[in-house]
């Protein structure tokens, strides 16, 4: 191959390499832009996840605090329920002793009223002999007298009234404590529901952030690969520039002097080495300055 033809071939190859390097640079820059977008998206999503987790943990702390208050309120309510139950039993005992229940074995007042009502209905609707009717009237009168005396005894008992007021107050306190337990439990449940919702939102965003991270890694790896190829292509083009420059700078006189210094004509070994180097270069391998000298010695330049 003539020297000028070889220079032209190298220049054409250098131009192709320059064009390829330009395309690779554009592709690399595009991939770098994509990498930055994925990185920004990932960081934005992770920031949102952190915010949601912080809010969820705040609700969790409030829930736990309310649950502790619920436990304390339940303990207080249970104690008040015991007190109220004791007050009810005390009142019932007084009522039995002072009229409501009457002496042991006596008919309770509600049942006594029902018996009187039934006897009165029987007197009005049943045909009786004069003797039977008289006995029925006397029985009704006796029961009415007993009812009146027992009701009067109950109404006049300050001890029973005081026991009733104590029972009522104890029940009210227990009911108020139960209402507090319910309110605190509802607050705790509300905080729990808010916490669960926020954690679910955080999990969903975390999946998106993980996907953005995967996209970031893929585009970063591809951008790095293209950049390495770009660097190699640019280096190859520069190597060709160096070769072309060397070819253009080698004058006939310089080549003649070089041959005279090496016995004017290349040896068989020099020609063989030059042929090997030239074939390697044609296959795309790079040439060093030493290779160029060897090509000159072998008569290929």
pLDDT (tens, 9 = 90+) of the chain, 301 residues, equals 456 776 787 788 889 989 999 999 999 999 999 999 999 999 999 999 999 999 999 999 999 999 999 999 999 999 999 998 998 888 778 777 665 445 555 677 778 888 999 998 888 888 888 888 889 999 999 989 988 877 666 555 677 778 878 888 998 999 999 999 999 999 999 999 999 999 999 999 999 999 999 999 999 999 999 999 999 999 888 887 877 776 666 544 445 554 454 445 667 777 787 778 777 766 666 666 566 666 666 666 5
User: Do residues 99 and 189 lie in contact, with contact meaning Cβ atoms separated by under 8 Å?
Assistant: no
Is 118:112 a contact under the CB 8 Å cutoff? no
Does the domain spanning 3-249 belong to CATH 1.10.287? yes
Please give the Cα distance from 163 to 84 (Å, whole number).
Answer: 11
Distances (CA, A) of 293 to 83, 172, 200, 255: 113, 111, 72, 10
Q: Which of 116, 91, 115, 114 is nearest to 101 (CA)?
A: 91
Residue 196, Cβ neighbours under 10 Å: how many?
A: 14
Query: Which two tokens mark 297?
Result: 């010695």
pTM score? 0.56
Cα–Cα distances in angstroms (integers) from residue 219 to residues 14, 22, 42, in the given order: 29, 19, 13
């Amino acid at each position: 191959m003539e020297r000028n033809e070889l220079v032209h071939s190298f220049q054409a190859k250098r131009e192709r390499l320059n064009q390829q390097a330009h395309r690779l640079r554009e592709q690399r820059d595009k991939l770098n832009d994509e990498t930055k977008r994925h990185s920004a998206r990932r960081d934005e999503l992770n920031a949102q996840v952190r915010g949601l987790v912080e809010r969820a943990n705040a609700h969790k702390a409030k829930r736990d605090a309310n649950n502790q208050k619920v436990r304390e309120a339940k303990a207080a309510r249970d104690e008040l329920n015991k007190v109220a139950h004791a007050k009810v039993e005390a009142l019932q005992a007084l009522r039995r002793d002072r009229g409501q229940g009457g002496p042991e074995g006596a008919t309770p007042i509600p049942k006594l009223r029902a018996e009187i009502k039934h006897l009165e209905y029987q007197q009005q609707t049943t045909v009786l002999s004069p003797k039977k009717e008289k006995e029925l009237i006397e029985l009704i009168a006796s029961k009415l007298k007993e009812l009146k005396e027992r009701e009067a005894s109950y109404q006049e008992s300050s001890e029973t009234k005081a026991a009733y007021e104590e029972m009522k107050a104890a029940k009210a306190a227990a009911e108020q404590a139960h209402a507090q337990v319910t309110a605190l439990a509802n607050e705790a449940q509300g905080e729990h529901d808010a916490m669960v919702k926020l954690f679910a939102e955080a999990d969903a965003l975390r999946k998106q952030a993980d996907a953005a991270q995967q996209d970031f890694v893929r585009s970063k790896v591809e951008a790095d690969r293209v950049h390495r190829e770009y660097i190699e292509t640019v280096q190859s083009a520069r190597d060709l520039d160096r070769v072309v420059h060397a070819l253009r700078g080698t004058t006939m006189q310089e080549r003649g002097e070089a041959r005279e210094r090496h016995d004017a004509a290349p040896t068989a070994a020099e020609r063989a080495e030059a042929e090997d180097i030239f074939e390697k270069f044609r296959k795309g391998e790079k040439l060093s300055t030493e290779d160029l000298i060897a090509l000159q010695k072998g008569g290929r330049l």
